[in-house]
Amino acid sequence: MNVSSKSTHFTNARVTNFYYAFVFLPPAKRLAIEAVYAFARRGDDITDSGLDPTEAAAGLARYRQALDACYAEDTSHIDSPELRALAVAIKRFNIPRQPFEDLILGLEMDLSGKRYETFEELSLYCYRVASTIGLICIEIFGYQNPRTRDYAVNLGTALQLVNILRDIQRDAQRGRIYIPQEDLDRYGVRPAELLAGAYNDPFIELMQFECDRARHYFDLARQMLPPEDRRSMKAAEIMAAIYWGILKRIQKRCYNVFGKRVRVPRPMKIWTALTVYLGAEWKK
């Protein structure tokens, strides 16, 4: 289960959940996916590095310029190996530009420190930072039925919701609270309690509600995946299975996501990837 050193150069993939999803892809598709995730990681680094607003804006401007270079007719001047690989992937798999543009809009939402009053507002953020990656990836995986785009959108939302729930305190320490204010109000949880790691009955009830919402989007994704595209979406399904495992572990910890980060152990990720690739049912 090794990927080429050229591929792992882009994302140090062994330390991410993505490695286990991509490992069974043919080399050309694997390299393309690695390039996409390396580009996304570059954007995350801009928003997560604690830069002052001026530096962050300049970083995002350079990020846009890098995207421009990848979509230029002549890409021979690109020096970065990961950007060269992305430019090749864009042309080889005819990846539309709009999902990348929407991703950048999502990064701007993070840099603005935006708070979300409603889930409708949060769902737009989830679309921009996660569903867009799914829409890019399915172009590389290949699909026949347009409904597979709906699968990618809903699965991206599910995965991002799991990320948000797993990293509540860590995000709060960065000044980011993604849980909608309407949900906090409904269960009587104050934003400061998320930062403080207050584990109590109102927080547990809030987490139950939010985890149910994530499960709903996993269900929607599965309903939207057409039978004729199930085989080509194996990598996406492996990712779904791993994140489903994180969600189950959150529940097993009685929704206490404070302290040690909720993780799926590496041997379990390997087993999950292998069994899903062989056709096993993961959503149990």
pLDDT tens digits, 217-253: 999 999 999 999 999 999 999 999 999 999 999 999 9
Which of 36, 171, 148, 54 minimizes the C-alpha distance to 93?
A: 36
Per-residue DSSP letter, 52: -
In tens, the pLDDT along 140-185 reads 999 999 999 999 999 999 999 999 999 999 999 988 999 999 999 9
pLDDT at res. 54: 87
Q: Which two tokens stand for residue 34?
A: 């690695």
| Spatial contact of 269 and 242, defined as CB atoms under 8 Å apart | yes
d(CA 88, CA 25): 17
Alpha-helical segments (H) within the chain = 5-11, 18-22, 27-48, 53-71, 81-92, 98-111, 119-126, 132-141, 147-166, 168-173, 181-187, 191-196, 201-224, 234-252, 266-277
pLDDT band for 68, please (50, 70, 90 cuts): very high
The full length of the chain comes to: 284
d(CA 160, CA 51): 23
Which of 152, 106, 159, 155 minimizes the C-alpha distance to 128?
A: 106
d(CA 248, CA 104): 31
Pick the range with the lowest mean pLDDT from 4-8, 40-44, 118-122, 217-221. 4-8
d(CA 182, CA 119): 8
pLDDT at res. 6: 34
pLDDT at res. 284: 66
Is the pLDDT at 5 greater than 70, yes or no?
A: no
Domains of the chain listed by start with CATH number: 20-277 (1.10.600.10)
pLDDT at res. 9: 45
